[in-house]
Structure 1
């Protein structure tokens, strides 16, 4: 069995597309508005699967009031993305003024990782395997 996609709920699809495209550099596959199901969504290409961002709309197809989950341990659920160079990810986050919510953490000789939140408090983990 393979992973097809992972989904995050977002409050502002345009803002989220900007974050995932222009801050994280993910490739937007497509976006769609579905008036029959009262939602708007976008898919981003990931190696080994895709990421779906889903915005819920009311019966008039207007955005529902924002829902922002707490950013707190154990930081689940989250989407973990493999990083070739965690140091470069840290530099990018500083350049873009994106706070790291935890980390970087390390198991010496094995793995380094950190957590951050997108604009809707969805948790992302960047992981660099060292061996």
Structure 2
């Protein structure tokens, strides 16, 4: 039996076009596919009667890792604002080479930072520059600029 491997992370959004401005246009993920699913398997696997979903599949450049954006046309969900401490919540961590520039682009696209970026002074990521922000639908995104290594 082969080992499990990461495939994708799915995020439910309220407006797929607005979310594409954040995840594709500003963050730079590659748009691989857009599609809509109505009833059929999407209704069965989600157990959402009458499910009608718009989807966008976005790939991190140079990898096989994806973010899947899902906008439920029906049934409509209720917005949530999870905090980092909430069980069932989570965050998407993204490595970047120039955190201040990327953060500015994401804020222009509707992202809202928790606080200013912090240089980590200890732990396995010591020396990295890190910031938490929210996307337009309140998903938490962590930007990590690894420390530069001279050697």
Partners of 2:120 and 2:130 within 8 A in 1? no
Q: In structure 2, the residue corresponding to 1:57 is in which secondary structure?
A: strand
2:68 — aligned with what? 52
Instruction: Look up the match of 2:79.
Output: 68
Unpaired segments ≥5 residues, structure 2: 43-51
Alignment of 1:75-94 (within 5 A): 76-93=89-106
- Distance apart, 1:20 and its partner CA: 1.5
How far off is 1:82 after superposition?
Answer: 0.5
The aligned residue for residue 20 of structure 2 is 17
CA distance in 2, matches of 1:17, 1:95: 13
Q: Distance in 2 between matches of 1:72 and 1:8?
A: 16
Q: 1:71 offset after TM fit, Å?
A: 4.9
1:40 maps to 54
Structure whose alpha-carbon radius of gyration is higher: 2
Match of 1:112 among 129, 133, 136: 129
C-alpha distance in 1 between matches for 2:85 and 2:119 = 16
Where does residue 30 of structure 2 map in the other structure?
A: 27
More strand by share: 1
Distance 2:107 2:21 in 1: 17
Give SS of 1:124's match.
strand
* Structure 1: runs of 5 or more not aligned: none
| CA contact 1:71–1:117 (8 Å) conserved in 2 | no
Aligned length: 126
In the alignment, is residue 121 of structure 1 matched against residue 138 of structure 2? yes
